[in-house]
Amino acid sequence: MAFTTQTFTFVFFPLCMAMYYVAIALQSKGKIGAFLAKCRLRDFALIGIGAVFYAWACFDDLFRFAVYIVIVYVLGLGIEMLRRDPHDEDGARHNRAGLAVLLFAAVAFVVYVLVHFKYLELLADVWNWFFKDTVKGKTLIAPLGISFITFSAVSYLADIYMGKATAGSLIDCALYMSFFPKVVSGPIVLWRDFKEQVTVRRITLDNVSDGMSRVMIGFAKKLILADTFGACIATASSAVDVPTAWGIGLLYMLQIYYDFSGYSDIALGLSKMMGFSFKENFNFPYLSCSITEFWRRWHISLGTWFREYIYFPLGGSRKGKTRALINVAIVFVLTGIWHGAGWTYMLWGAINGACNIFEKVVGDKKWYQKTPKILKWAATMAVTFFCWELFRFTDFTACKEWFKVMFGVTRFDSIPYSLSYYFDTRMIVLVVVAILGATVFGWPKVQAAYQKFLRKPWGYAVCQLVFVVLFAVAILFMVNSTYSPFIYFQY
């Protein structure tokens, strides 16, 4: 079930929030409330809501997901038990070895599940390329959100192993794994951060109001901007002229940002309405003046996960600059592979990794430091623009043909529609708004002015009125258009 559907907006969302708040209210009623609080009624309510949300896409997956959660919980419990301080040195050595073996087995299990459902075809292609064989990988329908579920499982197991959080109860583990705002497409919340809020969570009028505002902004980003751009891209002919091809590329660059940041806004807003406060997932990435900075601003939770569980365990930058650069390369190759079982994704990851490594190598050079920021920004946006084109296509052939059109190598005798057809007045206005929203609104002075305006009672009221109007317009877009799933649902 996607957030921006009529079923979620008008049925699931109001019912689940009412159920959750009723559970909280019941827990505050005298002795019965104390008993219900001890039984964790509100957490059971959230787990039930998550189960319904997940089962809506595929009922069969729910049973597999439940078994998966139990296995992860048992593995985490085993790691916790082995981490207990032994009474003697021999026991310490024994426990460290057993702990490492158990962690390896646990991570191998969750990674195997991911590979089994997403990467059999890719592995078959690699095997055939190396050994000139004709093995065929079996195509499987992956469970909903398997990539993000895997990230959560690894975080749960690794944080217990590293001692950064203790193992939770089965209820804690189930709540963490199935928490419906994040289960399908993130943001990726680390177990150590989630566990802190399992028992201590604040549900105040301000939190509910701020969360609802965030949800409304997310709806506007997704339905008004991202879906409009996506609809234009989907209906565009492959036979276009050069300006139109570049325009379509710009639309995709804006679409993927507003699609995913809109989803993150809704997820964070829903979480806040339920008393959970998670870290931001986007911070105006199109203001970046380097690819390194871009990845500190784009999908922040993904970068955090790879840093915590891949980069640092590999040694980070502690073992010298050369080793650090190798670790960066490994992280970005894995990032590309995670996004999809396709060679275009791997090239996308490799290019981002190469740029990141290049910037680390030349970062202290005088010529680089003296390069004007506007040139660095332009170069970063150019790399990002072309990398998103790799991201958009599932195979090299289609991507190569599109680049030929963009650079005028391929020309068509007959072009059905020109640039003015796709970029009418309405589309131009939305593109301008999208560009300003992704760049100018993120400038520090603009952000400071907005926060100052928001602190005034009448300013706050004006902002809320604008959010409500945008939300109403977004609902009209939702009702009057065909369903368009979030791009990151496929990961």
Residues 416 and 294 in one domain: yes
pLDDT at 24 over 60: yes
Is residue 47 within a helix (H) or strand (E), and if so which, with residue range? helix 41-55
C-alpha 392/C-alpha 399 separation (Å) is 8
Q: Is residue 322 part of a domain?
A: yes
Residues 11 and 44 in one domain: yes
Q: Which of 144, 174, 200 is the last residue of a domain?
A: 200
Alpha-helical segments (H) within 167-219:
170-178, 180-183, 191-199, 205-219
Residues 297 and 317 in one domain: yes
For Cα atoms 453, 441, 185, give the angle at the middle one, nearest 5 degrees.
110
The 10s digit of each residue's pLDDT in 58-114 is 777 888 899 999 999 999 999 998 887 555 455 555 577 888 899 999 999 999 988
The 10s digit of each residue's pLDDT in 131-188 is 777 777 666 666 778 889 999 999 999 999 999 999 999 999 999 999 999 988 889 9
Residues 226 and 358 in one domain: yes
Q: Is residue 50 part of a domain?
A: yes
Q: Is residue 412 part of a domain?
A: yes
Q: How many CB atoms lie within 10 A of CB 458?
A: 8
pLDDT recorded at residue 142: 67
How far, in Å, are 76, 166, 170 from residue 102 at the CA level?
A: 9, 16, 19
Residues 261 and 399 in one domain: yes
Give the tokens for residue 447.
């952000």
C-alpha 307/C-alpha 241 separation (Å) is 42
pLDDT at 118 over 90: no
Q: What is the mean pLDDT of residues 230-238?
A: 85
Report the chain's mean pLDDT, rounded to a whole number. Answer: 88
In the chain, the number of structural domains is 2
As separate numbers, helices (DSSP H) first and strands (DSSP E) second, the chain gives 25, 0
DSSP state of 362: H
Q: Is residue 1 part of a domain?
A: no
Residues 213 and 190 in one domain: no
* Residue 63 domain boundaries: 6-200
Residues 196 and 221 in one domain: no
Q: Which of 181, 200, 219 is the last residue of a domain?
A: 200
pLDDT-based confidence at residue 115 (cuts at 50, 70, 90): confident
Residues 439 and 459 in one domain: yes
Q: Is residue 422 part of a domain?
A: yes
Q: Is residue 151 part of a domain?
A: yes
| Cβ(294)–Cβ(177) below 8 Å | no
Residues 234 and 170 in one domain: no
pLDDT recorded at residue 146: 86
Q: Is residue 351 part of a domain?
A: yes
pTM of the predicted structure, to 2 decimals: 0.92
C-alpha 212/C-alpha 345 separation (Å) is 35
Residues 136 and 103 in one domain: yes
C-alpha 230/C-alpha 208 separation (Å) is 31
Alpha-helical segments (H) within 340-443:
343-362, 366-370, 373-392, 396-406, 419-422, 425-438
| Cβ(144)–Cβ(109) below 8 Å | no
Residues 458 and 478 in one domain: yes
| Cβ(214)–Cβ(282) below 8 Å | no
Residues 349 and 432 in one domain: yes
Least confident of 72-86, 116-130, 278-292: 116-130
pLDDT at 459 over 70: yes
Q: Which of 155, 179, 200 is the last residue of a domain?
A: 200
Q: Is residue 267 part of a domain?
A: yes
